[in-house]
Amino acid sequence: MDIQAIKKRMESIRNFSIIAHIDHGKSTLADRILEITNSVTKREMKEQLLDSMDLERERGITIKLNAVQILYEHEGTSYIFHLIDTPGHVDFTYEVSRSLAACEGALLVVDAAQGIEAQTLANVYLAFDNNLAIIPVINKIDLPSADVEQVKKDIENVLALDTSKAPLISAKEGIGIDQIIRAIIEDIPPPKGDPEAPLRALIFDSFYDPYRGVIPSIRIVDGIIQKGDLIKMMASEAIYEVVEVGVNTPKAKIVPMLVPGDVGYVVANIRDVEDVRVGDTITTKTNQAKEALPGYRILNPMVYCGIYPLDSTDYLPLKDALHKLKLNDASLIFEPETSGALGFGFRVGFLGMLHLEIIQERIEREFNIGLLATAPSVSYHVTLTDQSVVTIDNPAHLPDAGRISEIQEPVMIATIMTPKDYVGNVMELCQRKRGVYQKMDYLNDSRVEITYHMPLLEIVYDFFDKLKSSSKGYASLDYSYSHYQKSTLVKLDIMINGENVDALSTIVHRDFAYERGKKITEKLKDLIPRQMFEVPIQAAIGGKVIARSTLKAMRKNVIAKCYGGDISRKKKLLEKQKEGKKRMKTVGRVDVPQEAFLSVLSLDD
């Protein structure tokens, strides 16, 4: 391809993403676009094609990004669309911002019955930051509860976007998809970029292929990339030789080169996922770009928990599973950890609670390893009396109170959108969870956006569940890191049968400690089955017991009657008890079930 041909080709390219709240119809719309442009035949069409992991399809969320090239003829002109999928959850804000950076435009899909949600808003702001052309799309207009005019008004009021030409669609029913195609062609600008400048390609995702290594998904901004090029990652400084470039259609298709505006993948036998950080810029070794593309950040995990194999012989398989997951997910970090109660396991860092749940579920499901996870913790900055500062992400490791001069905890900026009827409830909840009020905006007559500074500890604990229950499920939440702040936190230890159970230690605000301790000990009493002897369960701060419950001794455990020669029934009952026992950890002399270790997570306040 000569320069003129490349420039002509760039004119026909449209790169866009779809922004939507969970369940507002993003994946369904993506499927319809693939269908109408004949990118996949009906036969290949699996519902929600872009969400390829089972977990994604089940949960109806997008975890890993995908990018698809779509060729489309419109009024005699050929167009190349690149649809770049984004994850729709608060834990993955950075990934969203990078995939938006690979686009010139975005479809903002809003559910005609639900209206704008906090996360949608957060992602639209990311799109504004990236100077994208935004096309509002009103979806689910076929629902009886749809209120198109209200939603249009909200979009104009809140986002100052013109909705006069907004496509009104039903992705499920296939209504209005052609309007969207027209808007993509007319309203989203073609990419800019200089094919003759040194290569600059944005890495917005990567995936791992067991035979070909880590494969980054890239958007070419300047220059050309082709087989044989020696490329360099500008942040990680890793150098590799390109063995293949291609695009997803959605099947992988090898192409001779990728030019400005193109979205595709590059295979370079990359073994280490650390070398291919999302947001980094690829250039060539010999003709290096002067400046990397803006916006690269190293992600820090926000939430930590201990992950232990239920069966201690699964330690090595668990290690292997974490390594394999990491190949696809650079934000996952882990290191070995030992617990007196749980044995050998790992302390794992996550971007947020959803990330944590997804990883746990994938280990259990894809690797078939039974897990025991401790209550999540955040990362504390602890200044000791000798003025040295340590970072603590495992409550069990918090030094004695006497050695601590100050503890700082991470605080998030939490944005909550709620119908105005629940504003009172939501604010009360936020106050109770140590939130500090920042501001409140009325988006329209009925919806309100409230902003608080909120300790991440409280968000991790049960804030989201409580928010949902205090707003009948209507309120939505978005949060991002704000700052660290000094706080009066204490370590709450739990002792079972006189033995401190490190895996049950939590860090709590001093004001909540007594109540929390009482609730945990009561709950543990209900969760732990009776033993052959009486078991005291105590909560303590710095060795001082603040709450206690007593698990009474078991009275009997026997299959009383043995029915007329039917031995199999008795065997089954015993086998069942045996399996139950296997799923327990022995702490001291007490068999503690898995649920007990999560009990500290959800106590009804």
Q: How far apart are CA 264 and CA 223, in angstroms?
A: 14
Q: Under a CB-based contact definition with an 8 Å cutoff, are residues 232 and 285 in contact?
A: yes
From the DSSP assignment, how many helices (H) and strands (E) are in the chain? 15, 32
Cβ closer to other proteins: 420 or 581? 581
Q: Among 135-143, 239-247, 326-334, 569-577, which window interacts with other proteins (CB under 8 A)? A: 569-577
The backbone region for 329, taken as left when phi is positive above 0, alpha when psi lies in -120 to 50, beta otherwise, is beta
**Binding residues for other proteins restricted to 517-536, rule: CB under 8 A:** 530, 532
Distance of CA 467 to the CA centre of its chain: 19
With vertex at residue 281, the alpha carbon angle to CA 275 and CA 284, rounded to the nearest 5 degrees, is 90
Least distance to other proteins, CB of residue 563, Å: 7
The backbone region for 586, taken as left when phi is positive above 0, alpha when psi lies in -120 to 50, beta otherwise, is beta
Q: Among 171-179, 320-328, 460-468, 570-578, which window interacts with other proteins (CB under 8 A)? A: 570-578
Which 3 state secondary structure label does DSSP give 192? coil
Least distance to other proteins, CB of residue 95, Å: 45
Q: Which of 483, 478, 448, 484 is nearest to 126 (CA)?
A: 478
Cβ closer to other proteins: 384 or 573? 573
Cβ closer to other proteins: 486 or 571? 571
Q: Among 28-36, 68-76, 199-207, 568-576, which window interacts with other proteins (CB under 8 A)? A: 568-576
Cβ closer to other proteins: 401 or 573? 573
Q: Under a CB-based contact definition with an 8 Å cutoff, are residues 357 and 463 in contact?
A: no
* Binds other proteins (CB under 8 A): choice among 8, 391, 571, 586: 571
Decide: is 555 part of the binding site for other proteins (CB under 8 A).
yes
Cβ closer to other proteins: 164 or 557? 557
Decide: is 420 part of the binding site for other proteins (CB under 8 A).
no
Let me know how long the chain is.
605
Least distance to other proteins, CB of residue 339, Å: 24
Cβ closer to other proteins: 43 or 555? 555
Distance of CA 93 to the CA centre of its chain: 8
Q: Please, which residues bridge with residue 441 across strands?
A: 449
* Binds other proteins (CB under 8 A): choice among 543, 562, 586, 605: 562
* Binds other proteins (CB under 8 A): choice among 405, 550, 577, 586: 577
Distance of CA 21 to the CA centre of its chain: 14
Q: Report the chain's terminal Cα–Cα distance, integer Å.
A: 66
Cβ closer to other proteins: 71 or 532? 532
Q: Among 83-91, 313-321, 324-332, 561-569, which window interacts with other proteins (CB under 8 A)? A: 561-569
Q: How far apart are CA 125 and CA 149, in angstroms?
A: 22
Decide: is 567 part of the binding site for other proteins (CB under 8 A).
yes
Which 3 state secondary structure label does DSSP give 34? helix
Q: Which of 396, 318, 306, 401 is nearest to 363 (CA)?
A: 318
Q: Among 302-310, 315-323, 494-502, 563-571, which window interacts with other proteins (CB under 8 A)? A: 563-571
* Binds other proteins (CB under 8 A): choice among 41, 164, 388, 568: 568
Residue 586 class from Cβ within 10 Å (0-12 exposed, 13-18 middle, 19+ buried)? exposed
Least distance to other proteins, CB of residue 555, Å: 2
Decide: is 563 part of the binding site for other proteins (CB under 8 A).
yes
Cβ closer to other proteins: 59 or 530? 530
Q: Under a CB-based contact definition with an 8 Å cutoff, are residues 163 and 184 in contact?
A: no
Q: Among 134-142, 324-332, 375-383, 557-565, which window interacts with other proteins (CB under 8 A)? A: 557-565
CA dihedral 173, 178, 181, 187 (to 10 degrees): -110
Q: Which of 117, 137, 131, 218 is nearest to 180 (CA)?
A: 137
With vertex at residue 455, the alpha carbon angle to CA 65 and CA 350, rounded to the nearest 5 degrees, is 30
Decide: is 578 part of the binding site for other proteins (CB under 8 A).
yes
* Binds other proteins (CB under 8 A): choice among 570, 586, 602, 605: 570
Q: How far apart are CA 388 and CA 337, in angstroms?
A: 23
Decide: is 285 part of the binding site for other proteins (CB under 8 A).
no
| Residues 6+ away with beta carbon under 8 Å from 285 | 230, 231, 232, 239
* Binds other proteins (CB under 8 A): choice among 581, 586, 602, 605: 581
Decide: is 313 part of the binding site for other proteins (CB under 8 A).
no
Decide: is 565 part of the binding site for other proteins (CB under 8 A).
yes
Identify the DSSP state of 386: T
Least distance to other proteins, CB of residue 585, Å: 16
Least distance to other proteins, CB of residue 524, Å: 17
Q: Which of 465, 467, 455 is nearest to 412 (CA)?
A: 455
Cβ closer to other proteins: 462 or 591? 591
Least distance to other proteins, CB of residue 580, Å: 10
Decide: is 586 part of the binding site for other proteins (CB under 8 A).
no
Q: Among 28-36, 79-87, 195-203, 567-575, which window interacts with other proteins (CB under 8 A)? A: 567-575
Q: Under a CB-based contact definition with an 8 Å cutoff, are residues 582 and 313 in contact?
A: no
Binding-site size, other proteins (CB under 8 A): 25
Identify the DSSP state of 141: T
Decide: is 42 part of the binding site for other proteins (CB under 8 A).
no
Decide: is 572 part of the binding site for other proteins (CB under 8 A).
no
* Binds other proteins (CB under 8 A): choice among 42, 43, 290, 556: 556
Q: Among 47-55, 436-444, 479-487, 562-570, which window interacts with other proteins (CB under 8 A)? A: 562-570
Cβ closer to other proteins: 298 or 574? 574
Q: In angstroms, what CA-CA distances link 3 with 7, 79, 191, 290, 382?
A: 6, 18, 15, 22, 58
Chain residues that interact with other proteins, rule: CB under 8 A: 530, 532, 552, 554-568, 570-571, 574-575, 577-578, 581
